[in-house]
Structure 1
Amino acid sequence: MIRKMWGLIPVLDCSQLLRFCPSQCKTSLVSFTTPDPRADPRHCTMSDQAFVTLATNDSYAKGAMVLGQSLRNHNTSKKLVVLVGPHVAEPCREVLGSIFDEVCLVNIMDSDDEAHLALMKRPDLGVTFTKLHCWTLTQYSKCVFMDADTVVLSNIDELFEREELSAAPDPGWPDCFNSGVFVFTPSNETHEKLLAFCEENGSFDGGDQGVLNSFFNTWATADITKHLPFIYNLSSIAIYSYLPAFKQYGRNAKVVHFLGKLKPWNYSYDAEKGEVKGHALSPDSSHLHPDYLVMWWQVYTESVVPLLQKAHGETPFSGDFEEESHKGNLQEEVREESQPAAPPPPPPPPRQLSSEERKQRWEDGQIDYMGDDAFAHIEKKLNTFLK
């Protein structure tokens, strides 16, 4: 039995946020075919609560597929909803429709705030304003939003016991919450207020996190029950800033968030050896934990790749909508992703820093957690003093 899911969200460009009221928005219906949930025990869900994510291009669609599949693998009882931008290719939407209960087509909202985005060196984050459309999903009484670069390690349905706006602290500034995972209550009124707030105040970081922290500005002080434990939004790159804590509590992690410019899909994977290739530190990249990268790729190769192969067949597939052409088919792409990457040329040996230079770097917050300042080296140095 086949049913039709209809995704419908009226949206506006940022320059038009206050020019029209929602009743004046012209909308269109987009049909997606998904399996009947009654035919699959994995889809026995609560109809009024949902996990929600966003994919603005085919690359993030891959991340959304892995996230959705990881939620299925851990037997969530909630509905799964994905918001997709117009640049997501039809075959990718088809695969998303086989994993998610509802696929909603939305237009891209971009902050166009080059100045603030430049501070984070992440011009790509302007389109995360599109995330604000999740508040229009009023067919649900409560939702949990999760970025497409997260992956679930165990069942997290207990998050729906929390109230709006519940989120985990951001590792960079703990009095701000990280907007990669948060509990919210859909509301057209809240959505309109958020759009008005964007138009009037903008975002202090150019992305959705700055807007949401300014809008829900009592999060840090008003109600501690709205502070999610860090295990629900464990930053893969924050692990190395406090290794002892990760060794103590990391086994309890339930959601891993691949923050930073590099995402799991930017690497390649050797399926036979079960190893992620091209995973190395460089001055312009953040270090993602290798175990979690392997977990992501295992879900991708075992559960997502077969669906992509079925959807694309011999159709050329582009991993990013900004690419104008891409030769070959999906099978070739998967084979390339599964082969070891060519080894990069060896970096020049690092210059040894003097004690004064290292001290100055510590004071400036430039700590080499993966090198001379690694926890193991510090521990070894301490042991020499304690003997």
Structure 2
Amino acid sequence: MGGNAFFTLLTSDSYAVGAVTLAASLKDFDPDVCVCVLVTADVSDGVLLSLNRVFDEVIEIGLLECHGTTYETVLERPDLKDTLTKLHLWDQEQYSKIVYLDADTLPVKSMRTLFDVEVSETVIGACPDIGWPDMFNSGVMVLKPSKATYKALIDTYKTKQELIDGADQGLLNVFFENNWLHIPFIYNVAFSGAYQYRPAFLHFRDKIACIHFIGTNKPWTSTAPNDLLAPYFDKWWSRFAQIRAFAQLPGYSVPLASETAALKDSSQSLAKLSDVPVKAETIRTSANWNPALGPPPADTLPEGANLVYSSHVNAWDQKRPDRSASQRGRSKHKNTMKALSKSLSKTRIDEEE
């Protein structure tokens, strides 16, 4: 059996940008720990290539969809329908202990200490959920892989037709109801609008190890919803700006130096510069063409006809109104008389001297 590893999950291209940024951030603090990602068949080939550049191991798994509609009707989160695929974590017995993080988390300190949590095949470590602290949040977990636990989880998945959230967190809280160890909230900090949250956040923010961008406000899709999260949105964009060129993630171009600087300044700037992720097959060949390295791709179309022609004339380049011949004649006569008068005056002065 192998050693420890960080894991995340990707069931589509929509969270790919979050996954590569998470991997890069984990390696910033703990470069010697293996970083892995579980992927399903819905992840495109282009994104798979990017994942293989950033992650130490990319593991393909089958999709497990949620039962019921709670995740959609109550939470209004249709993106949660694939989260039960997370159960495959317990099938990864090639590792002795796993620290799992959702792809929408951002470590801002080392997460290595979580490997010291004393978990077993039937006991996991997790942080309390911000919505109901008697439950745990499944966005960050410490677990020991086990085929037996994996089978028991799959059996529970097949028999439990309706869960509190209709997704993985509800099922895992049922399965590990009295068998989870409390991990400090600083390892999975989610935002809450509760009145006591702000003073607590400000008091403990220097201890925060990992931010969890729960809900629909992700750094790659929106601006920070409040001033508390804004610095972490900036941190996320700053790290993504550094990794995006190496990852070569389809749908994301390399930022200019000026853009990178702006990305670090404020989340308002980030909103204007943020990209919209698209699948690899929608990227035109010409979008990846570098004119410095070769001729245009053969399958591209001429675009000269689409150019908009316009002209600009400076005010000082405008022609002056035309004058009549008599006006031009009078002007020349005056200039001639001035020149003669000046010459005669100079001659008199010379003679007097």
Equivalent residues of 2:221, 2:276 under 8 A apart? no
CA contact (8 A) 2:26 2:107 kept: yes
Q: Is the 8 A contact 1:65 1:96 kept in 2?
A: yes
Within 5 Å, which residues of 2 pair with 1:131-150?
Answer: 131-150=86-105
Q: Distance in 1 between matches of 2:214 and 2:91?
A: 26
Residue deviations 1:325-370 (CA, integer Å, cap 9, x gap): 4657379xxxxxxxxxxxxxxxxxxxxxxxxxxxxxxxxxxxxxxx
Alignment partner of 1:104: what SS?
strand
* Of 105, 113, 135, the match for 1:176: 135
| Contact 2:251–2:283, Cα closer than 8 Å, also in 1 | no
Counterpart of 2:29 in structure 1 is: 74
- The residue type paired with residue 231 of structure 1 is I
Q: Is the 8 A contact 2:70 2:164 kept in 1?
A: no
Q: TM-score, normalised by structure 1?
A: 0.62
| Residues 256, 292 of structure 1: 8 Å contact kept | yes
1:165 aligns with 2:105: no
- The equivalent position to 1:295 in structure 2, one of 212, 230, 235, is 235
Report deviation, 1:263. 1.1
- Between structure 1 and structure 2, the one with the greater Rg is 2
Q: TM-score, normalised by structure 2?
A: 0.68
Percent of residue pairs identical: 35
Q: Is the 8 A contact 1:54 1:131 kept in 2?
A: yes
Note closer, same or farther for the CA distance 1:279–1:185 as it changes in structure 2 (3 Å cut).
Answer: closer
Shift of 1:110: 0.8
Give the Cα–Cα distance (whole angstroms) in 2 for the partners of residues 138 and 68 of structure 1: 21
What is the CA-CA distance between 1:56 and the residue it aligns to?
1.2
What's the CA shift for 1:66?
0.5
1: CA distance between counterparts of 2:221 and 2:281? 18
CA deviations 1:198-256 (Å, max 9, x no partner) are 1111332111000000000104xxx7xx1000000001456875111111101110011
Unmatched tracts of structure 1, length 5 or more: 1-45, 268-277, 282-286, 332-387
**Which residue of structure 2 lines up, in the alignment, with residue 305 of structure 1?**
245
Q: How big is the shift at 1:52?
A: 0.6
* Amino acid across the alignment from 2:139: G
In structure 2, distance between residues paired with 1:135 and 1:124: 22
Q: Count residues with an aligned counterpart.
A: 264
Cα distance 1:256–1:239, how it changes in 2: closer, same or farther (>3 A)?
farther
* Partner SS, residue 54 of structure 1: strand
Contact 2:130/2:192 (8 A) holds in 1: no
CA contact (8 A) 1:150 1:255 kept: yes
Question: Distance between the aligned counterparts of 2:45 and 2:65, measured in 1?
Answer: 22
Q: Which residue of 2 aligns with 1:319?
A: 277
What amino acid does structure 2 have at the position aligned with 1:63?
Answer: G
CA distance change for structure 1 residues 79 and 215 in 2, over 3 Å: closer, same or farther?
same
Q: How does 1:185-224 map to 2 (within 5 A)?
A: 185-202=144-161, 203-219=163-179
Q: Which residues of structure 2 form unaligned runs of 5+?
A: 255-274, 290-353
State whether structure 2 residue 22 is matched by structure 1 residue 53.
Answer: no
- Residues 80, 280 of structure 1: alpha-carbon distance in 2 compared, 3 angstrom cutoff: closer
The reply on whether 1:100 has 2:55 as its aligned counterpart is yes
**1:107 CA drift (Å):** 2.4
| Letter of the 1:291 counterpart | P
Query: Which of the two has greater strand per residue?
Result: 1
Counterpart of 1:125 in structure 2: which amino acid?
L
Q: 2 CA distance for matches of 1:248 and 1:79?
A: 33
Distance 1:320 1:70 in 2: 23
| SS of structure 1 residue aligned to 2:64 | coil
Q: Which residue of 2 aligns with 1:329?
A: 287
Separation of aligned partners in 1, 2:248 and 2:198: 37
Q: CA offset at residue 117 of structure 1?
A: 3.5
Asked whether the 8 Å contact 1:84–1:106 carries over to 2, the reply is: yes
Instruction: State the Cα deviation string for residues 136-157 of structure 1 (Å, max 9, x = none).
Output: 1100111011100001111111
In structure 1, distance between residues paired with 2:251 and 2:199: 45
CA distance in 2, matches of 1:245, 1:158: 23
Higher RCO structure, 1 or 2 (CA under 8 Å, sep 6+):
2
Q: Give yes or no for the alignment of 1:257 onto 2:223.
A: no
Determine the C-alpha separation between the residues in 2 that align with 1:158 and 1:71: 13
Offset of 1:306 from its aligned partner? 3.6
**1:234 is paired with a residue of what secondary structure?**
coil
Q: Distance in 2 between matches of 1:181 and 1:149?
A: 10
Over residues 86-112 of structure 1, what are the superposed CA-to-partner deviations in whole Å (9 max), with x where a residue is unaligned?
122222212211221110112221114
Name 1:233's counterpart in structure 2: 188
- 1:198/1:329 CA distance change after superposition, 3 Å: same
Matched to 2:146, the amino acid is: S
Structure 1 contact 167–183 (Cα < 8 Å) conserved: yes
Find the aligned partners of 1:77 and 1:249 in 2 and give their Cα distance: 28
Distance 2:213 2:146 in 1: 29
Q: Is the 8 A contact 2:65 2:81 kept in 1?
A: yes
- Cα separation, 1, equivalents of 2:233 and 2:147: 37
**Structure 1 residue 83: Cα displacement:** 0.5
**Residue matched to 1:8:** none
Q: Is the contact made by 1:237 and 1:259 (CA closer than 8 Å) also made in structure 2?
A: no
